[in-house]
Amino acid sequence: MKPSEYKSYLPIRLEGGNFAEWKFELDRWVFSQPPICRHIALGLINWEGVDSSVQPYYANVDKKKFEQLLFKAEELMIDVALENMNPDKFKINDLRVMSFGLLLAALSQECKKRIGSMYLTELKSRVTSKVSPKKGARHRRIYGPTDWKIEYLDILIDPFKVSEKKFIKFWNILAEKNLDEKLVPTAFEKSQCEFSRTNCLYRILQPC
């Protein structure tokens, strides 16, 4: 199970802000591979042992052979992940020594430092998701429930015309104002709060 034996190209390269979409494509690739790759990704097998739910897959594999399979499969998965990352934005060599699970956790934490960029990517995806039901379904699978701020920004701005630097500055202002707690509506206040949220975002957006 060498990397060259499988198509390792993903249709997207990790840049930072697009972590959710990159992870989605990586997961699709992993689940297209032999079951051992899926079991590693789901944390069902590792160097400590095998989860009871997948033991039947490896019941007739001796320990040495299992360890060889595990090593090659995880090496393949790590190689594919690293091959599809921007080397100018991530320290690839530092990441290569990690397990697949730790690699994804480290990347997630690193990308969350660029949270404004992540939300801009989500906003762009939300806009393009309206083009077709297929794109809409894909967007929902990647991002799940929509943050209320994304819903309102979809009305107020064109994410394809705002610079990433400007948007990140704006998102940092939102974070500082802690609007999620300040603008949570009660049942009685909901209609007023909907207007308040939109108006508040609009006012904040102006100085940016």
3-class DSSP string for the chain: CCHHHCCCCCCCCECCCCHHHHHHHHHHHHCCCCHHHHHHHCCCEECCEECHHHHHHHCCCCHHHHHHHHHHHHHHHHHHHHHCECCCCCCHHHHCCCCHHHHHHHHHHHHHCCHHHHHHHHHHHHHHCCCCHHHHHHHHHHHCCCCHHHHHHHHHCCCCCCCHHHHHHHHHHHHHHCHHHHCCCCCCCHHHHHHHHHHHHHHHHCCC
Looking at residue 202, what is its pLDDT? 55
Other Cβ atoms less than 10 A from the Cβ of 85: the count is 18
List the Cα angle 9/33/63 in 5-degree steps.
125
Looking at residue 188, what is its pLDDT? 43
Interacting residues of 26 by C-beta distance below 8 A, sequence separation 6+: 10, 80, 81, 84
Looking at residue 190, what is its pLDDT? 46
Task: Please report, for the chain, the start and end positions of each structural domain, with discontinuous segments joined by +.
Answer: 3-112, 116-205
Compute the distance between CA of residue 86 and CA of residue 63 in angstroms, rounded to an integer: 37
Diameter over CA atoms, the chain: 66
Looking at residue 175, what is its pLDDT? 80
Tokens 């609009």 belong to: 202
Looking at residue 201, what is its pLDDT? 56
Looking at residue 186, what is its pLDDT? 47
Per-residue pLDDT of the chain (208 residues; tens, 9 = 90+): 444 445 557 999 999 999 999 999 999 999 999 999 999 999 999 988 899 999 999 999 999 999 999 999 999 999 999 999 999 999 888 888 889 999 999 999 999 999 999 999 999 999 999 999 999 999 999 999 998 889 888 988 899 999 999 999 988 888 887 766 665 544 444 454 454 555 555 555 554 4
Token pair for 139:
């967007």
Decide: residue 14, CB within 10 A, 0-12 exposed, 13-18 middle, 19+ buried: buried
Compute the distance between CA of residue 16 and CA of residue 137 in angstroms, rounded to an integer: 23
Q: How far is CA 97 from CA 37, 38, 70, 94, in A?
A: 18, 20, 15, 6
Looking at residue 200, what is its pLDDT? 54
Q: Fill in the amino acid letter for 46.
A: N
